[in-house]
Amino acid sequence: MDDFMQAAIAEAQAGLAEGGIPIGSVLVHRGVIIGRGHNRRVQQGSAILHGEMDALENAGRQSAQVYRESVLYTTLSPCAMCSGAILLYGIPKVVIGENVTFTGEEDLLRSRGVEIELLQDGTCIALMREFISQHPALWQEDIGETA
Amino acid sequence: MDDFMQAAIAEAQAGLAEGGIPIGSVLVHRGVIIGRGHNRRVQQGSAILHGEMDALENAGRQSAQVYRESVLYTTLSPCAMCSGAILLYGIPKVVIGENVTFTGEEDLLRSRGVEIELLQDGTCIALMREFISQHPALWQEDIGETA
């Protein structure tokens, strides 16, 4: 297992331990993690802090050049919002833990030239499968779906 | 002038008074403002709190149904990140103050069925024109552009 995906999974697990949605992410610049994050919907009552957004926020203000030399790791396929953030900042590559439990805007990202590496990692899948089965309404809220 | 766009402009002006980037937004549910926000890059060192994102965050956790009955007002054409958030939550309509100084992902939004109303408001244009001329590097950072 890639160390950076392992760090993203550790973020997801930290979120789960806090009672949150188990999705984690890290932003890696030239081989160094510059931002770590996990979904904060439950913990902070946040509508925008998905795992990827939290990692970007925790990386702080960066120049466009830094983003363009970075890779975003996320345990789950990025939704429209997180994909939009990837496009805004011109992040050239995204490594995705899994897209079995949710498939985000991978096609849009690819159509704009973003490289996607999909791991279909068993730990990532198990985290989301269990969470969704136990908290279906919370999960629907997080991805803007109606019951 | 529409009262809701006026409220978004007031947010932009509040951001400018704080030394920030003058972009504001309000989220309106069935004729009532449920979230107000403005760009917080300077004020909070934030990479993700564009005006629209701040309005969504300040609206708090909402069900998909609420978003689908809402209109987002923003003083400036929404970037990829903010457009992605609009798509995530299925917000059906966006009222845009202007797209002269920056044109975001309006085509993507339209292609997904989002209704766009573009005002080309002189106050919104003047706010951004003056800001960009005075702070070009900060503006480039906010939209992920290199110098």
Domain ranges of chain B: 3-142
- Rounded to the nearest 5 degrees, what angle is found at the Cα of B27, between the Cα atoms of B131 and A81? 80
Catalytic annotation present for A52: yes
B136 in A contact zone (CB under 8 Å): no
> Tell me, what's the pLDDT at B2?
84
Q: Cβ separation of B47 and A60 shorter than 8 Å?
A: yes
When the pLDDT of each residue in chain B is averaged and rounded to a whole number, the result is 97
Q: Strand pairing partners for A29?
A: A32, A70
Show the low-confidence residues of chain B (pLDDT under 70). 1
Domain topology for A3-142: Cytidine Deaminase; domain 2 (3.40.140)
B115 token code pair: 């209704």
B138 token code pair: 């900060």
A21: closest CA of chain B, how far (Å): 14
Show the low-confidence residues of chain A (pLDDT under 70). 1
ipTM above 0.95, yes or no: yes
Instruction: Name the residue among A83, A89, A141 with its Cβ closest to that of B63.
Output: A141
The overall pTM is greater than 0.95: yes
> Tell me, what's the pLDDT at A2?
84
Phi/psi at B28 (5° precision): -115, 120
Query: Can you spell out the DSSP letters for B32-79?
Result: EEEEEEE--HHHH--SS--HHHHHHHHH-S--HHHHTTEEEEESS---
